[in-house]
C-alpha cells in the first residue's frame, strides 16, 4: 500500500492567463491589451479571438511569436510571459459593447480558458469644422474684429463693425456680409472669407481773394468730396457781407440770415458763390467759416479763411482794386490834369494821369479799363517832377493792371511821342531840327575839300 502511494505522480498546477484592456474606447481609436501568462511549462501559447471589426496592429516585446489567422491571434512564448498587443477599434455610428474570448495552452497543449472581457466602443466626438475670417481696412479707420485672421466654427454668425477716424467716413464693406452699407453688420461663416472696410476722406476747401475793395463783389469757390450719395455745405458769412448769387440752381440754396446752405447730390461738388463786401472806412480783416455734412449728416469743418476789405474810395468808374496787402489801410484815387504835369520827357505823350493817396504799408494792385491803345501804353509814377517807369505793369486790349507801393502819389499813362503830320503847323520846324545836323556836316565836309584843293594849288 505504501509503495503504491509512493509510485503515484504529483499533479501539476494548470496554466493561467489574465487579460487587461480599457472598459471603453472611442470609435476607430487605437488601444492596448495586456496579457499575463504563467504555469505553462517550458513554453506556452495564448490564443485570442478578436470581436468582429477590431484590427490587430502590433505586439511587444518582439520575442513573442505572433500568428494571425482571421480574427484569431496566436501568441507563442517561452516559460511565463507578459506582453501587450495593440488593436484598432471599429468605426461605429452608435455605441456598442464587444466581448473578448481567449485560452492559454501549456507545453502539452492543454487549454485553459481566459476570463472573457467586455469593451464598449463609443461614438467619437468629431472636432467642429472651422473657417478663417480675414479682416482688412482700406482708408483710415478701425474695425472689430481687428485687422488680421480669425478662426470661427462653421455656421457661426460673427458681428463686425467699423469706426472711421476723424475726417473720414465709413463707405462700405466688400465681401459676403449681411449689409454692405452698414457700419455694423454680420458675417456667416460657411466658408473662408475676406472682408474689407472701406473708408473715404471727407474734405472741403474754400478759395477766395486775400483782399477786396470796400463794397466790391467777389467770388468764393467751394470744392468738396467724400460725402456719399448727397452732401451739404454750410457757410457762415462775416457780418456786413451780402450774398449775391451762386452757380448752383436756386432750389439747392437756402439762406438764413448770414448762413448759406448749399445742397448737392453725389459724392463731390464744386461751385462758386458771389458776395458783396461791406463798405469800410478803414481796412478790416474778416473770417469766413463753414462745414461739410455727409450723407449721414455728420459734420466736417472747412478750414477758416481770412479776407481783408480795403478802404477804397474813388469816383472813377474805370478803376478797381485787384488786391492789396492787409497792411494797406486805405486807398483813394482821382484824376489829375495832364496839363499840370511838369518835366515831361520829350519822347512821351501823356494820355491820362491820376492821384493815388494810400495809407498804411505794403503794396496793392489796380486795374484800369477802357484805356485806348493799352498795349502801347507805358506807365510812370511821378514824384517831385521825377519820372520813373513802373515795372510791374500788365496790359491787354483795353486794360492796364499795375502794382504800386503805399506812398506813390501820381501815376501817368503815356504813349511814345509821334512825329507831327505832314503839312501841319509843327511839321517844318520838326523836320528842320532833324536836317540841321546833316547840313552842318555837309558844310564842314565842303570846307575841308576846298582847303585841300587850295593847298594843292599853292604847292
Per-residue pLDDT band at 416 (split at 50, 70, 90):
confident
Last residue of a domain, one of 273, 290, 310: 310
- CATH number of the domain at 303, please: 2.60.40.740
Per-residue pLDDT band at 439 (split at 50, 70, 90):
confident
Q: Report if residue 8 sits inside a domain.
A: no
Same domain, 234 and 255: yes
Same domain, 440 and 397: no
For residues 410 and 371, the answer to whether their CB atoms sit within 8 Å is: no
Q: What share of the chain is helix, strand, coil (3-state, %, to 5)?
A: 10, 55, 35
Q: Report if residue 78 sits inside a domain.
A: yes
Residues 6+ apart with CB under 8 A from 106: 14, 15, 39, 40, 41, 44, 112
Q: Report if residue 58 sits inside a domain.
A: yes
Q: Report the distance separating Cα 370 and Cα 381, nearest Å.
A: 20
Q: What is the DSSP letter of 450?
A: H
Give the CA angle between residues 320, 326, 331 to the nearest 5°.
40
With b meaning 16 or more CB within 10 Å and e meaning fewer, what string describes 307-335?
A: bbbbbbebeeeebbbebbbbebbbbebee
Same domain, 316 and 268: no
| Average pLDDT over every residue of 335-341 | 91
Same domain, 303 and 317: no
Residue predicted with more confidence, 445 or 426: 445
Mean pLDDT of the chain: 89
Q: Report the distance separating Cα 161 and Cα 170, nearest Å.
A: 10
Number of domains in the chain: 5
Q: Report the distance separating Cα 374 and Cα 369, nearest Å.
A: 9
Cα within 13 Å of Cα(417), Cβ side = 9
pLDDT in tens, 175-186: 999 999 999 999
Same domain, 136 and 114: no
Per-residue pLDDT band at 197 (split at 50, 70, 90):
very high
Per-residue pLDDT band at 36 (split at 50, 70, 90):
very high
| Average pLDDT over every residue of 160-174 | 96
Q: Quickly count: other Cβ atoms within 10 Å of residue 457's Cβ.
A: 6
- Give Cα separations from 13 to 16, 42, 110, 245 (angstroms): 9, 14, 12, 123
Q: Cell triple for residue 450? A: 576846298
> Strands of 24-26's sheet, edge to edge?
24-26, 111-122, 96-105, 43-49, 72-78, 65-69
Output phi, psi for 288, to 5 deg.
Answer: -95, 135
pLDDT at 124: 73
pLDDT at 166 over 80: yes
Q: Report the distance separating Cα 286 and Cα 270, nearest Å.
A: 23
Q: Report if residue 1 sits inside a domain.
A: no
Q: What is the DSSP letter of 340?
A: G
pLDDT at 426 over 80: no
Q: Quickly count: other Cβ atoms within 10 Å of residue 161's Cβ.
A: 15
Outline where DSSP puts E strands in 337-454: 348-360, 363-368, 378-383, 386-389, 393-395, 400-405, 410-416
pLDDT at 451: 67
Same domain, 216 and 282: yes
pLDDT above 70 covers a percentage of the chain that reads 91
Residues 6+ apart with CB under 8 A from 328: 211, 283, 310, 358, 359, 360, 361, 362, 363, 364, 406
pLDDT at 458 over 90: no
The answer to whether the bond into 261 is cis (omega within 30° of 0) is no
pLDDT at 425: 53
Same domain, 149 and 244: no
pLDDT in tens, 88-142: 999 998 999 999 999 999 999 999 999 999 999 998 777 789 999 999 999 999 9
Residue predicted with more confidence, 387 or 433: 387
pLDDT at 21 over 60: yes
Q: Report if residue 457 sits inside a domain.
A: no
Q: What is the DSSP letter of 298?
A: -
Range in 70-79, 132-141, 410-419 the model is least confident about: 410-419
pLDDT at 388 over 70: yes
Output phi, psi for 346, to 5 deg.
Answer: -65, -20
Same domain, 319 and 305: no
Outline where DSSP puts E strands in 280-395: 284-293, 299-310, 312-314, 319-324, 328-336, 348-360, 363-368, 378-383, 386-389, 393-395
Q: Report if residue 4 sits inside a domain.
A: no
pLDDT in tens, 247-298: 999 999 999 999 999 999 999 999 999 999 999 999 999 999 999 999 999 9
pLDDT in tens, 216-250: 999 999 999 999 999 999 999 999 999 999 999 99
Last residue of a domain, one of 177, 201, 225: 201
Residues 6+ apart with CB under 8 A from 99: 51, 116, 117, 118
Same domain, 219 and 302: yes
Give residue 344's domain range. 312-416
Q: Cell triple for residue 411? A: 501815376
Per-residue pLDDT band at 12 (split at 50, 70, 90):
low
Q: Report the distance separating Cα 31 and Cα 87, nearest Å.
A: 6
Last residue of a domain, one of 122, 149, 168: 122
Q: Report if residue 216 sits inside a domain.
A: yes
Range in 24-38, 415-429, 430-444 the model is least confident about: 415-429
Give the CA angle between residues 29, 57, 81 to the nearest 5°.
110
For residues 350 and 337, the answer to whether their CB atoms sit within 8 Å is: no
Length of the chain: 459
Same domain, 333 and 368: yes
Q: Report if residue 458 sits inside a domain.
A: no
CA 169, 173, 178, 179 dihedral sign is positive
Same domain, 187 and 241: no
Same domain, 292 and 226: yes
Per-residue pLDDT band at 442 (split at 50, 70, 90):
confident
Residue predicted with more confidence, 293 or 424: 293
Residue predicted with more confidence, 246 or 446: 246
Amino acid at each position: 500500500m505504501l509503495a503504491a502511494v509512493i509510485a503515484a505522480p504529483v499533479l501539476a498546477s494548470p496554466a493561467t492567463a489574465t487579460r487587461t484592456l480599457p472598459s471603453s474606447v472611442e470609435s476607430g481609436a487605437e488601444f492596448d491589451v495586456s496579457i499575463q501568462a504563467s504555469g505553462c511549462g517550458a513554453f506556452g501559447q495564448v490564443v485570442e479571438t478578436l470581436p468582429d471589426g477590431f484590427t490587430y496592429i502590433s505586439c511587444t516585446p518582439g520575442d513573442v511569436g505572433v500568428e494571425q489567422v482571421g480574427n484569431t491571434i496566436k501568441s507563442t512564448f517561452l516559460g511565463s510571459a507578459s506582453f501587450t498587443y495593440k488593436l484598432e477599434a471599429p468605426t461605429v455610428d452608435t455605441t456598442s459593447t464587444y466581448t473578448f474570448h481567449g485560452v492559454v495552452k501549456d507545453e502539452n497543449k492543454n487549454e485553459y480558458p481566459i476570463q472573457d472581457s467586455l469593451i464598449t466602443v463609443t461614438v467619437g466626438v468629431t472636432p467642429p469644422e472651422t473657417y478663417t475670417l480675414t479682416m482688412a481696412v482700406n482708408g483710415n479707420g478701425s474695425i472689430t474684429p481687428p485687422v488680421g485672421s480669425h478662426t470661427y466654427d462653421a455656421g457661426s454668425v460673427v458681428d463686425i463693425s467699423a469706426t472711421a477716424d476723424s475726417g473720414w467716413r465709413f463707405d462700405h464693406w466688400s465681401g459676403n456680409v449681411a449689409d454692405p452699407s452698414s457700419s455694423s453688420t454680420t458675417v456667416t461663416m460657411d466658408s473662408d472669407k475676406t472682408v474689407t472696410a472701406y473708408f473715404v476722406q471727407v474734405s472741403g476747401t474754400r478759395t477766395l481773394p486775400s483782399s477786396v475793395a470796400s463794397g466790391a463783389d467777389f467770388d468764393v469757390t467751394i470744392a468738396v468730396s467724400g460725402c456719399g450719395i448727397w452732401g451739404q455745405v454750410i457757410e457762415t458769412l462775416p457780418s456786413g457781407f451780402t450774398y449775391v448769387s451762386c452757380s448752383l440752381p436756386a432750389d439747392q440754396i437756402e439762406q438764413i440770415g448770414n448762413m448759406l446752405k448749399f445742397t448737392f447730390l453725389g459724392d463731390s461738388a464744386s461751385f462758386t458763390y458771389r458776395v458783396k463786401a461791406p463798405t469800410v472806412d478803414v481796412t478790416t480783416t474778416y473770417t469766413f467759416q463753414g462745414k461739410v455734412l455727409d450723407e449721414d449728416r455728420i459734420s466736417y469743418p472747412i478750414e477758416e479763411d481770412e479776407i481783408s476789405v480795403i478802404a477804397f474810395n474813388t469816383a472813377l468808374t474805370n478803376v478797381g482794386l485787384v488786391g492789396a496787402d492787409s497792411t494797406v489801410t486805405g486807398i483813394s484815387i482821382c484824376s489829375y490834369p495832364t496839363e499840370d504835369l511838369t518835366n515831361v520827357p520829350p519822347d512821351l505823350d501823356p494820355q491820362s494821369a491820376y492821384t493815388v493817396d494810400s495809407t498804411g504799408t505794403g503794396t496793392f494792385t489796380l486795374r484800369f479799363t477802357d484805356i485806348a491803345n493799352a498795349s502801347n501804353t507805358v506807365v510812370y509814377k511821378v514824384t517831385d517832377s521825377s519820372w520813373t517807369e513802373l515795372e510791374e505793369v500788365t496790359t491787354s486790349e483795353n486794360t492796364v493792371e499795375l502794382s504800386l507801393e503805399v506812398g506813390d502819389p501820381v501815376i501817368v499813362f503815356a504813349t511814345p511821342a509821334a512825329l507831327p503830320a505832314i503839312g501841319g503847323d509843327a511839321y517844318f520846324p520838326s523836320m528842320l531840327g532833324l536836317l540841321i545836323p546833316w547840313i552842318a556836316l555837309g558844310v564842314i565836309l565842303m570846307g575841308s575839300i576846298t582847303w585841300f584843293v587850295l593847298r594843292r594849288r599853292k604847292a
